């Protein structure tokens, strides 16, 4: 079975500051890893994904994440936060052969302050 741990249910940064959202996973087989963003009263939008190709993955809106197998981590970063980045972010894992159902972390609410 797979699991995901997101450290920090709430993260606050200043506009222009580095964004770092942490995600650690557990999986007995090579995983697929995802970051999704959810704006208020909306569904989930895919930011980026890791599917065993390049370990540094670039996504939309300037976000990127690095897959580190030795640390079982897939942290999300953005060099400079923008007010529009305020949202909830979910890390998720899936594996092949199981219908690719997603197992989500508990989410991190990102607040961006002036």
Partner 1 sequence: GAGVSQSPSNKVTEKGKDVELRCDPISGHTALYWYRQSLGQGLEFLIYFQGNSAPDKSGLPSDRFSAERTGGSVSTLTIQRTQQEDSAVYLCASSFTSGGAPQETQYFGPGTRLLVL
- Binding flag, residue 63, partner 1 (CB under 8 A): no
DSSP letters of 82-94? -GGG-EEEEEEEE
Return phi, psi of residue 69, to 5°: -65, -40
Q: Kindly tell me the burial class for residue 15, based on how many C-beta atoms sit within 10 Å of its own C-beta (0-12, 13-18, 19 or more).
A: middle
Note whether 65 and 59 are within 8 A (CB): yes
How many binding residues for partner 1 (CB under 8 A)? 24
89 lines the binding site for partner 1 (CB under 8 A) = no
Under the binding rule (CB under 8 A), the answer on residue 46 touching partner 1 is yes
Q: Is 53 in the site for partner 1 (CB under 8 A)?
A: no
Site for partner 1 contains 44 (CB under 8 A): yes
State the residues that interact with partner 1 by CB under 8 A.
32, 36, 41-46, 49, 51, 90, 92, 94, 96, 98-107
């Amino acid at each position: 079975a797979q699991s995901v741990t997101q450290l920090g249910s709430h993260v606050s940064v200043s506009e222009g500051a580095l964004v770092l959202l942490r995600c650690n996973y557990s999986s007995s087989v090579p995983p697929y890893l995802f970051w999704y963003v959810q704006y208020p009263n909306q569904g989930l939008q895919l930011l980026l994904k890791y599917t065993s190709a390049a370990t540094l993955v670039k996504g939309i809106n300037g976000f990127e994440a690095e897959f580190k197998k030795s640390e079982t981590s897939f942290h999300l970063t953005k060099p400079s936060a923008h007010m529009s980045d305020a949202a909830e972010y979910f890390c998720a894992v899936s594996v092949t052969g199981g219908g690719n159902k997603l197992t989500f972390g508990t989410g991190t609410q990102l607040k961006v302050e002036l």
